[in-house]
A = this chain, B = another copy of it.
Amino acid sequence: MNTFGQTITLTTFGESHGAAIGGVIDGFPARFPLDLDAVQAALDRRRPGQSALTTARREADRVEFLSGIMDGLTLGTPIGFIIRNSDQHSNDYEEMRHTFRPSHADFTYQARYGIRDHRGGGRASARETAARVVGGAMCQQLLTSQGISIMSYTRQVGDICMNPNSEITPEAIEANPVRCPDPEAASRMAELIARVKKEGDTIGGIIECQITGMPAGVGSPHFHRLNSMLANAMMTIPAAKAIEFGMGFEGCLRRGSEMIDEFTPGPDGQPTCRTNHSGGIQGGISNGMPIIFRVGFKPVATLLRPVHTVTDTGDATILQARGRHDPCVLPRAVPIVDAMAALTLAQLLRP
């Protein structure tokens, strides 16, 4: 239930306002020189309170590794880690003990389990994704060592879309708090987010992910396709509502003659695609082209304005959210998309 993956697995645990969140990574290859500072740096990218665009909550989010690593090398044994919770304004959530926040998981958790930790969303809080970022950052190091790189970035916020021809580099993505590699669009996105925040509202958008360096022949047809595995992984991210590969929905409305990726002999004698409408995947298996997909994130459901809802005794009520919330999840979701992509691809590495 709370384990991702089959060869390299990540099991996560922890409620938002419990003692700690954490996880166990199992199946990670032995003798790999892990850069633990880089793992912490990835976690810092997800951390609340990074910029004016994100929630004012401040959590140190220091990861403590408990096992599986000796003298900087992985042992091949499970790697346990915890992140202690702190800065918990649990009282902010007291009124949510009996009230279901609309478009949150409060009611559905209650329906599923008959009980829930109401404080800050409990287990349903996006705080759980911190453990994914730890596991993802470890897998990303493994992928990098094999020449595979993952770059996610904010492509669109509301109606503001980046120029698709922008140069995309890690530096360009990290150059602004929106994590959009097009600086001009990024600036307008930041303005939009600030405006929306001031209005007590929130806004959604689209994150794009590009994976390069993936050799042809990775993925399994049928039930473990590269695209089904990535779609599964992305739809496990809170607030993700849609995913498309390559030309996506738009390409699905076109003719075959427009969408076919014809082959041409490649430099190594292997076929290379003249175009990449398929987004690097054919028949569920990588074809050697960059893998490209986009994930839609709905606007945050916590509005700083009154909303209609119902209590756990079935009475109508008005909820006025307090607490500190993100007006737009995308900047902090970028490292989560990176993490889930890395966790997914790491499953497929040949040992």
Contacts and interface: CB of A to CB of B under 8 A. Distances in A.
A260 B105 contact: no
B350 A103 contact: no
Contacts of A100: 263, 271
Contacts of A217: 108, 110-113
Nearest to A205: B252
Contact of A231 (B3, B117, B232, B248): B232
Given A224-B1, A236-B284, A80 B351 contact: no
A152 B122 CA distance: 35
A11 B3 contact: yes
Interface stretch (A25-33, A141-149, A180-188): A25-33
B282 A252 contact: no
B14 A113 contact: no
B231 A282 contact: no
Given A2-B26, A108-B287, A245-B241, A77 B253 contact: no
Contacts of A23: 24
Contacts of A228: 231-236
Contacts of A124: 221, 283
Residue among A15, A238, A302, A309 having the largest count of chain B Cβ atoms under 10 Å = A15
A117 B80 contact: no
A314 B203 contact: no
Interface in A314-346: 314-316
B77 A15 contact: yes
B252 A206 contact: yes
Interface in A292-306: 296-303, 305
A136 interface: no
A228 to B, nearest CB: 4
A286 interface: yes
Contact of A77 (B13, B30, B216, B229): B13
A42 interface: no
Contacts of A252: 204-206, 241-242, 296-299
A202 interface: yes
Contacts of A67: 13-15, 18-22, 123
Given A76-B115, A77-B123, 4 more contacts: A3-B9, A103-B260, A242-B242, A265-B315
10 contacts: A1-B223, A11-B11, A104-B283, A108-B217, A111-B285, A203-B255, A232-B235, A238-B283, A241-B248, A259-B299
Interface of A: 1-4, 9, 11-15, 18-24, 26-27, 30-31, 64-68, 70, 73-80, 82, 100, 102-105, 107-117, 122-124, 128, 156, 158-159, 196, 201-206, 215-225, 227-236, 238, 240-249, 251-266, 269-271, 273-274, 277-279, 281-288, 296-303, 305, 307-310, 313-316, 350-351
